C-alpha cells in the first residue's frame, strides 16, 4: 500500500509539473503573439511625401540643375523617353537630362495621381508635363504629354524613382518632302523635255 501511494503521489507530482510547464509555454506564446502587431498603414503619409517630392523634382528641373534632377533616381533606375532607346543607370540618365535641360528649355510637370502599395515600399505617380523649347531661329515649340514614375522606398527610408516614362499628347506629324527630292523630280522633268525636243529635231521617235 505504501509503495502504491508513493508511485501514485509521484505520478501526480509529475503530472502537476508537466501541466505547469505547458501552461507557462502557452502563456509565453500568447504574450509573444500579442507583441507581433500588424504593420502600420503609412500609405496616406507616403502619398503626401511623394507628392511633395515630385513637386520639388519639377522645380529642380525647371531650374536646370542636372545633378540635383538626377539625384531623384535610384542607382539602377531606367529612363524611357520617347523616340529613344531605354537608358539605365545614373550615368546614362544624367547624359539624357543634360541634353534636355538646355538654356532655351522650360520644363515643368504636376502629379495627378499617387498610389502607394499596402506594403509601403512601392508606389507610382502619374501626371502631365509641359516642355517648351526654342530653336536656332528663336521659334518656340511647346510639347504637352503625360508621365508615369515608379518609386521604391530605399533601405534608409527615402523614396527614389526606379522607372520613369513619358510621351507626348501631340499627334505624329507626317514627314515633309525634302528639297533634294524636289530638285531631283524637277531635273528629271526637264531632262525628259530636252529628250523629246531632241527627238523632234532629228526626226527620230
CATH code for the domain in which residue 87 is found:
3.10.450.50
Per residue of the chain (205 residues), give pLDDT as tens.
Answer: 545 555 445 546 666 665 565 555 555 555 555 555 666 899 999 999 999 999 999 999 999 999 999 999 999 999 999 999 999 999 999 999 999 999 999 999 999 999 999 999 999 999 999 999 988 788 899 999 999 999 999 999 999 999 999 999 999 887 767 666 555 555 555 555 454 544 444 454 4
Q: Structural domain tally of the chain?
A: 1
pTM of the predicted model over 0.75: no
Instruction: List CB contacts of 154: < 8 A, sequence separation 6 or more.
Output: 74, 160
Q: Where are the alpha helices (DSSP H) in 63-140?
A: 66-70, 90-100
Q: Angle CA(135)–CA(137)–CA(165) in degrees, nearest 5?
A: 10
Q: Which of 105, 109, 73, 106 is nearest to 92 (CA)?
A: 73
Q: Please name the residue that has the C-alpha cell 542636372.
A: 66
Query: Domain for residue 72, yes or no?
Result: yes
Sheet holding 122-134, edge to edge: 87-88, 73-80, 159-168, 140-153, 122-134, 105-116
**Whole-number Å distance between alpha carbons of 197 and 46:** 81
Instruction: Decide if 201 is inside a domain.
Output: no
Amino acid at each position: 500500500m505504501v509503495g502504491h501511494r508513493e508511485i501514485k503521489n509521484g505520478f501526480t507530482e509529475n503530472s502537476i509539473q508537466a501541466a505547469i510547464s505547458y501552461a507557462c509555454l502557452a502563456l509565453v506564446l500568447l504574450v509573444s503573439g500579442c507583441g507581433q502587431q500588424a504593420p502600420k498603414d503609412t500609405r496616406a503619409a507616403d502619398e503626401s511625401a511623394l507628392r511633395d517630392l515630385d513637386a520639388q523634382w519639377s522645380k529642380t528641373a525647371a531650374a536646370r540643375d542636372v545633378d540635383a534632377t538626377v539625384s531623384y533616381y535610384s542607382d539602377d533606375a531606367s529612363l524611357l523617353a520617347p523616340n529613344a532607346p531605354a537608358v539605365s543607370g545614373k550615368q546614362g540618365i544624367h547624359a539624357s537630362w543634360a541634353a534636355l535641360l538646355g538654356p532655351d528649355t522650360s520644363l515643368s510637370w504636376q502629379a495627378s495621381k499617387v498610389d502607394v502599395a499596402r506594403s509601403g515600399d512601392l508606389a507610382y505617380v502619374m501626371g502631365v508635363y509641359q516642355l517648351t523649347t526654342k530653336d536656332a531661329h528663336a521659334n518656340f515649340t511647346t510639347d504637352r504629354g503625360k508621365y508615369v514614375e515608379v518609386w521604391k522606398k530605399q533601405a534608409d527610408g527615402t523614396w527614389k524613382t526606379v522607372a520613369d516614362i513619358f510621351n507626348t499628347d501631340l499627334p505624329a506629324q507626317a514627314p515633309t518632302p525634302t528639297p533634294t527630292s524636289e530638285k531631283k523630280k524637277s531635273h528629271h522633268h526637264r531632262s525628259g523635255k530636252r529628250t523629246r525636243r531632241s527627238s523632234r529635231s532629228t526626226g527620230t521617235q
